[in-house]
Amino acid sequence: MSDNIKTAVAEEVARQLAELKAKEAPPKSTFVPMSDEEWHDKWHQVAEKRMAMATPPEVVRDLAVLDDRLVKEIALRDARAPTSPGMIPDSGRARQPLPSSTPGYVDPRPLRPPDGTNWVDAIAIADDARQRAELKRKLGG
């Protein structure tokens, strides 16, 4: 290429670049300076929200009076308590297992198909027979 063409191309590229830069506006900043009082107030509100979720002082005082073992038992009982209404047993106490000559052993339940499998099998057989009949009719056999 000649120097004139190179210069013309460079000038055209520079002009297009300048147009693009002029069209592109820098993003507007949303930063608003905050005074020290506003900053302290903001973090005070955060601390207040956090403390609203803390254990109340009267509960801490009551737990400090109790024996550690008792507090652990209460916490463990509450952690293991059922949460959905359908799982709460009829009585407040857990049922005691029947005494066994072999503690901890339970006879295994025999394996069997789930209930309703016979209906699914019947539907599949009927559908297979229907599809075979339809195919036979289509093929003219």
**CA R_g for the chain:** 40
**pTM of the complete model:** 0.26
User: How confident is the model at residue 91, as a pLDDT?
Assistant: 53
Q: For residue 45, what pLDDT is reported?
A: 94
Q: Which residues of the chain have pLDDT under 50?
A: none
| The residue type at 126 | A
| Amino acid 53: pLDDT | 86
pLDDT digits (tens, 9 = 90+) for 76-105: 888 777 776 665 555 555 566 666 676 777
Burial class (CB in 10 A: 0-12, 13-18, 19+), 126: exposed
CA gap 76, 81 in Å, rounded = 9
Residue 77's φ and ψ, nearest 5 degrees, are -65, -45
Task: Provide the pLDDT for residue 95.
Answer: 62
Give the per-residue pLDDT at 124: 95
Check residue 31 and give its pLDDT: 87
Residue 63: CB atoms within 10 Å: 14
Provide the pLDDT for residue 94: 58
Residue 82's contacts (CB-CB under 8 Å, 6 or more residues apart) are 88, 89
Residue 128 is encoded by which pair of tokens? 């297979």
How high is the pLDDT of residue 120? 92
